[in-house]
Amino acid sequence: MILAIDVGNTHTVIGVFDDGSLQSHWRLATERHKTEDEYGLEVLHMLEYAGIKYQEITGVAIASVVPPLTPVFERVARCYLRCPALVVGPGVKTGINIRYEHPKDVGPDRIANAVAAHEKYGGPVIVVDFGTATTLDVISRDGEYLGGAIAPGILTATEALFERTARLPRIELQRPPSAIGRSTVTSMQAGIVFGFAGQVDELVRRISRELGGKPYVVATGGLAGLVAPESKTIQTVDPYLTLEGIYLVYQRNTAAEPNGTVPLSPEKLSENQTDNGGFRIMT
C-alpha cells in the first residue's frame, strides 16, 4: 500500500492506495507548527481507524506547497511508517513536459493534477482546483503542461471580505436560492457561488480560444462540488485527482526498481530522460 500526502496551505489530504485504488482518505487542517511526532501519531491513528496496519504501507509520496512541512512528513514516513518517501519536485519523473517559463515555479500539487488529468481524461484538458487559490492548469493533447491561471481561492477571498467589511457576517457557503439575494447572507452567497462559477467559465472560454480547441474541464479541491454545478464549462468533479496524481508520480519513479518501493534518485535516472527546469521528463 502507498500513502499519498497532499500538503496544502489550508488542508492536508492523505490517501492510501492499494494496487492503484484509493482505499481510505482523510482531510486535516494544515498546521505549520506541528512536529513530526504529532503528525506521525495522527497518521497512525487514521490508519488504525481504517483497519490498516502501518506495516502494510510500503511507500510514501508527498506533494507539498508548504516547504517547512516537507521534511516533517518525510520524517513521519521514515520514523513512524519505516518506509521511504518520494517528494514530488525537481529530479522526479512526472511523465509530462513542462512548458512554463520557469518550470521550478510550478507547484507540485499542480504537477500532480496535470499528471492525473492527462492519464484519466486525455488532452487537451483543463484542471480547475478550488483550493486556497483557485488554479487552472492547461495540459495539451500530447501531455505538455502549458501553464494556466491563478486567482484568489473562495475561502481566501471570502475571509478577506469578512475581515475588511465590518457589517458583513461570516456565512455558510451554500447555493443561494437565486442570483438576487433577499438578505445579506443570500446576497453574499450569490456573489460568491455564482461569481466564482462565472470567473471559471470566462477563464475556460479564453483558454479554449487560445488553444484552438475544446478541452475537457475537470474540477477538484474541497469546494469543487459547490461551484461546479453552477458552471457551464466544468464537465466532471474529481475530488481526489491530486492524490491520484501523487500516486501516479510515485509509480513512475519506482516501477524500474527491483522491489518497486524505493524512489529513484536523480543520478539513477536513465540517460534517455531529460531535465526540464528541474522536473524529470519521461521520453
Confidence grade of residue 283 (pLDDT, cut at 50, 70, 90): very low
Cβ–Cβ under 8 Å, residues 266 and 280:
yes
Cβ–Cβ under 8 Å, residues 64 and 71:
no
> For 105-138, what is each residue's pLDDT tens digit?
999 999 999 999 999 999 999 999 999 999 999 9
Confidence grade of residue 278 (pLDDT, cut at 50, 70, 90): very low
Cell numbers of 141, please? 493533447
Whether residue 163 is predicted with pLDDT greater than 90 in this model: the reply is: no
Segments of the chain assigned E as strands = 2-7, 11-18, 21-29, 59-64, 85-87, 97-98, 125-130, 133-139, 144-152, 216-220, 236-237, 274-276, 279-281
Cell numbers of 88, please? 514530488
DSSP, collapsed to helix, strand or coil, labels residue 280 as strand
Using alpha carbons, list the distances in angstroms from residue 17 to 3, 25, 125: 6, 9, 24
Structural domains of the chain, with CATH:
2-92+247-281 (3.30.420.40), 101-243 (3.30.420.40)
| CA nearest to 242, candidates 231, 234, 250 | 250
Active site residues: 109
Using alpha carbons, list the distances in angstroms from residue 128 to 12, 43, 99, 125, 164: 18, 28, 18, 10, 27
Average pLDDT over residues 220-233: 96
| CA nearest to 222, candidates 129, 137, 135, 152 | 129
Q: Report the alpha-carbon distance of residue 219 to residue 127 in Å, rounded.
A: 6
Question: CB within 8 A of 165, min separation 6: which ones?
Answer: none
> For 186-212, what is each residue's pLDDT tens digit?
999 999 999 999 999 999 999 999 998
Q: Report the alpha-carbon distance of residue 111 to residue 212 in Å, rounded.
A: 23
